[in-house]
Amino acid sequence: MTRTIDWKNSGILITGGTGSFGSKFVETILGSHPEVRRIVVYSRDELKQFEMSQRFPTERFPQVRYFVGDVRDKDRLYRALEDIDIVVHTAALKQVPACEYNPFEAIKTNILGAQNVIEASIDRRVERVVALSSDKAAAPINLYGATKLCSDKLFVAANNFKGKHDIRFSVVRYGNVMGSRGSVIPFFLEKRKNGFLPITDVRMTRFNITLEEGVGLVLYALENMWGGETYVPKIPSYRIIDLAEAIAPGCRKEIVGIRPGEKLHEEMITLTDSIHTIEFEKYFVLLPSVSLWDTNEFMGTFRGSRCKEDFSYNSGANTDWLNVEQIRELVRSHVDPTFST
């Protein structure tokens, strides 16, 4: 079932391609597969398109193209997908408060946009589609999580209605990316200038994944997907109070309370999902609810085993934890090389 990607003859489109993930993904592909035939960066923000084109100018990287467009616009997607073999779908409205305040806009982008990507990819005879999910899609308690769960279900179900088209759809789910725009680490780095950090709850925990690790898992999924899997990486957790100590040990900590729609611990696999979950050395896979292939063959191919029925995967019950010094080193390595305490 696994097919090696012929990068030299492959065209790739990244929706939301000017975001943190898209930029790192393009950098990684150009570094590891400079022979790639075509990369289309698809996003609706013309300023970010311009800024990204300064990093990857077409004079140096003639295979890179920049398309201004929205996943809500199926006609524009259809045009951008011409001669594309691989789609990485990252476009979404991601800010929890913004989605709560603008619910219909979140639905248009995160759900109807996902439908457009699926249908246009099938019609344009794309071969592989990987959609990025979120920990908030597991037992969602806010609209953003609910829209991402719906999106995940659409991409998995797309394998059932693709007809005779030779295309596979899979999902990659992980938590907050370290240092990404709008995440807690850049927020704390900015707030420490004021001499205090707002702490929602001293018990709060979060998973930690770097951009490089996120890109690596998506590339692994693209290479090995059978269609219908939801990939979840095995990654460490940290305590929010340890993160505050790592970034600003001398600052006053002010407890402000959990925000609406926020969880105490991040979840990526719920107790209910456990009966459909396979464990591998470095990741888990949630199986599609409708059988698409032989599960035993899949487990044998990648050397996996079924999880126990009482299994769940959340940042509070994790067995792998980052301490204060490890967090500091990761901040220096992946967020701000000039960082010091």
Give the domains, in start order, of the chain with CATH numbers: 7-334 (3.40.50.720)
pLDDT in tens, 57-92: 989 999 999 999 999 999 999 999 999 999 999 999
Q: Interhelix angle for 184-191 vs 240-247, to 10°?
A: 40
pTM of this prediction? 0.94
Which of these, 251, 249, 137, 262, lies nearest to 200 by C-alpha position? Answer: 262
Report how far residue 280's alpha carbon sits from residue 77's, in angstroms, rounded to the nearest whole number.
35
317 SS3 class = coil
Is residue 63 a contact partner of residue 37, using CB atoms and an 8 Å limit?
yes
Is 335 or 221 the better-scoring residue by pLDDT? Answer: 221
Is residue 283 a contact partner of residue 217, using CB atoms and an 8 Å limit?
yes
Which of these, 185, 189, 115, 191, lies nearest to 153 by C-alpha position? Answer: 115
| Tokens coding 144 | 């953003």
**Can you tell me the mean pLDDT for 295-307?**
96
Identify the band that residue 222 occupies on the pLDDT scale cut at 50, 70 and 90: very high
Report how far residue 239's alpha carbon sits from residue 321's, in angstroms, rounded to the nearest whole number.
8
Residue with tokens 């600052």: 251
Q: For residue 2, is pLDDT > 90?
A: no
Which of these, 129, 223, 213, lies nearest to 179 by C-alpha position? Answer: 213
pLDDT in tens, 226-282: 999 999 999 999 999 999 999 999 889 889 998 888 899 999 999 999 999 999 999
Is 195 or 103 the better-scoring residue by pLDDT? Answer: 103
Catalytic residue chosen out of the listed positions 94, 136, 148, 191: 136
Report how far residue 317's alpha carbon sits from residue 122's, in angstroms, rounded to the nearest whole number.
40
Q: For residue 175, is pLDDT > 90?
A: no
Report DSSP state, residue 249.
T
pLDDT for the residue 245: 94
| Phi (first) and psi of residue 4, to 5 degrees | -70, 140
pLDDT in tens, 180-189: 777 888 889 9
Is 254 or 35 the better-scoring residue by pLDDT? Answer: 35
pLDDT for the residue 37: 97
Residue 129 Cα to chain centre, angstroms: 13
Report how far residue 145's alpha carbon sits from residue 96's, in angstroms, rounded to the nearest whole number.
8
Q: For residue 216, is pLDDT > 80?
A: yes
pLDDT for the residue 195: 87
pLDDT for the residue 239: 96
Average pLDDT, the chain: 94
pLDDT in tens, 104-125: 999 999 999 999 999 999 999 9
Q: For residue 296, is pLDDT > 90?
A: yes
**Can you tell me the mean pLDDT for 11-35?**
96
310 Cβ contact list (under 8 Å, min separation 6): 271, 274
User: Does the annotation count 94 as an active-site position?
Assistant: no
Give the type of residue at 281.
E
Count the neighbouring beta carbons within 10 Å of the beta carbon of residue 287. Answer: 21
Strand segments, DSSP code E, in 48-127 are 64-68, 86-89
Using CB atoms within 10 Å of the CB of residue 168, give its burial: 0 to 12 exposed, 13 to 18 middle, 19+ buried.
buried
Identify the band that residue 340 occupies on the pLDDT scale cut at 50, 70 and 90: confident
**Can you tell me the mean pLDDT for 93-105?**
94
